[in-house]
Amino acid sequence: MPKCSALLAIAIVVSGCLPATERDFQMAQTVTEMVDAINEIRQMSYELQDRVDSLTTIVAKRDTVIRQLANLAGVQVPP
């Protein structure tokens, strides 16, 4: 009985030392592609947020100009 458990332990240790299989390489490639896709989505998100911030600034400036013109013309502008 001890010989069987010793042989089993040796077999487990040896199987852990085997070279990576094609499936392992495919899994690593898939994980790498997923990381790249997530990074690309993150970059797009930053760019979209930058555009939204820019548009918010433009709208605020436009509203200020409209309010100033309305004030000069004596027209009431709702808040």
Q: Which two tokens stand for residue 53?
A: 């911030």
pLDDT in tens, 4-40: 777 777 777 766 676 778 888 999 999 999 999 999 9
What pLDDT score does 19 carry?
A: 76
Interior/surface letters 13-35, b for 16+ CB within 10 angstroms, e for the rest: eeeeeeeeeeeeeeeeeeeeeee
Q: Which two tokens stand for residue 4?
A: 């069987």
Q: How far is CA 69 from CA 27, 60, 63, 65, 72, in A?
A: 63, 14, 10, 6, 5
